Amino acid sequence: MTLVSLRDVAVSARRRLVPAHYDFFAGGAGEERTLRDNRAAFDRWRLRPRVLRAAGVPDPRVELFGTELSGPVLIAPTAFHRLAHPDGEVATARAARAAGTVMTVSMAATRPLEQIAATGARLWFQLYPQPDRDFTASLVKRAERACTALVVSVDSPVLGRRARDLRNGFLDLPPGLACENLRDPVTGKVRDIVMDPSLGWDDIDRLRAGTGLPVLLKGVLHPADAREAVARGVDGIIVSNHGGRQLDNAVAAIDALPAVVGAVDGRIPVLLDGGVRRGTDVLTALALGASAVLVGRPVIWGLAHDGEAGVRQVLSLLHEELTGAMALCGAATVADLTRDLLAA
């Protein structure tokens, strides 16, 4: 089968994955309205290209926190990569390095952060702050040795109710797999991730004060929260509804983006995570003010399809589609992707 789009990669992955594992990756919360709307919201936008701009070959490179990347597509944090391929997050990181982009390592990775970092990939680390502050501090110290930014998930005071997992009885990892970043540094036992409904802005202040890494908040949808984040010195925002996996009927990520961008008013980078499946989706997000996007499920589909090579293919497809769309819209660089290129 010749793979010419991310849809093809997803079809291939579904054939290879254990059904319960496919549902874990593909599913969302509740009736999956937000999951579906993340895609449908992109489909409501249309492009209004410019012509005769002598733009030349497009250059999609971006810079984030002092690091130049090959393009504005980063890898989002997703759990349990070894369910998709035996090499797990190590394969994903190798693909990220080859593509010249960033991989955000999930706190629930099935390979230790240190093994993932040994690939030489540029890494960010996703963190759910834990009620045990000493354990949280130990995770941050590990991240400081291996990563260049912290991505704090702030949309998970409780775990979303995911019907597919409940129907499948998928409540834990198979024998031989574990969330390796959750091993207690003293006992060596793997801890459970604790979703903390008491997490507040003061916890973010303490986290920022205790690390020299840039801190991004992932899961911001409301402009008031974006303004608060800027006021408290947060370094970046990721507009996200957790891929539709937390609060069903939450606003689609791309629909929430313009108000958050307006609230931030250029003071810190705003990234988007959720529903990106095509190069034109990337272009749309950037034209609405995003600095970059993150992709999650497509990376898992690529990993299931063909390990590292499959992830590289996913990133290559998005890169090619984006640069082609830029050329057709008359854009030489991502700075040329402005709101006037869009028609709702």
Residue 316 marked in a binding site: no
Range 100-117 average pLDDT: 98
Q: Give the amino acid at 277.
A: R
Given this model, what pLDDT does residue 185 score?
87
pTM comes to 0.97
Considering only residues 1 and 4, tell me which one the structure prediction assigns the higher pLDDT: 4
Given this model, what pLDDT does residue 270 score?
98
pLDDT in tens, 66-104: 999 999 999 999 999 999 999 999 999 999 999 999 999
Residue 1 lies in a domain: no
Residue 86 lies in a domain: yes
Residue 262 lies in a domain: yes
Residue 218 marked in a binding site: yes
Given this model, what pLDDT does residue 1 score?
64
DSSP reduced 3-state for 175: coil
pLDDT at 229 exceeding the cut of 70: yes
Residue 245 marked in a binding site: yes
Given this model, what pLDDT does residue 329 score?
98
Containing domain of residue 76, as a range? 6-343
Residue 94 lies in a domain: yes
Tell me whether residue 85 is one of the annotated catalytic residues. Answer: no
pLDDT in tens, 40-54: 999 999 999 999 999
Q: Token pair of 216, please?
A: 């991004």
- Structurally, the chain folds into a number of domains equal to 1
- Count each helix (H run) and each strand (E run) in the chain, helices first: 12, 12
Where does the pLDDT of residue 153 fall: very low under 50, low under 70, confident under 90, or very high at 90 and above?
very high
30: left (phi over 0), alpha (psi -120 to 50) or beta: left
Q: How far apart are CA 221 and CA 250, in angstroms?
A: 9
- Can you give 241-290 as a three-state secondary structure string? CHHHCCCCCCCCHHHHHHHHHHHHCCCCCEEEECCCCCHHHHHHHHHCCC
Range 208-227 average pLDDT: 98
Given this model, what pLDDT does residue 165 score?
97
| Given the residues 21, 81, 85, 242, the one annotated as active site | 242
Given this model, what pLDDT does residue 3 score?
84
Q: How far apart are CA 221 and CA 258, in angstroms?
A: 10
Beta bridge partners of 239: 220, 272
pLDDT at 235 exceeding the cut of 80: yes
pLDDT at 210 exceeding the cut of 70: yes
Residue 128 marked in a binding site: yes
CATH, residue 247: 3.20.20.70
Where does the pLDDT of residue 344 fall: very low under 50, low under 70, confident under 90, or very high at 90 and above?
confident
Q: Name the nearest CA neighbour of 59 among 44, 45, 69.
A: 69
Given this model, what pLDDT does residue 2 score?
77
Given this model, what pLDDT does residue 131 score?
95
Q: How far apart are CA 308 and CA 145, in angstroms?
A: 24
Cα angle for residues 342, 289, 101 (degrees, 5° grid) = 110
pLDDT in tens, 6-59: 999 999 999 999 999 999 999 999 999 999 999 999 999 999 999 999 999 999
pLDDT in tens, 282-339: 999 999 999 999 999 999 999 999 999 999 999 999 999 999 999 999 999 999 999 9
Mean pLDDT, the chain, whole residue set: 97
Residue 297 lies in a domain: yes
Phi, psi of 184 (to 5 degrees): -65, 130
Residue 112 marked in a binding site: no
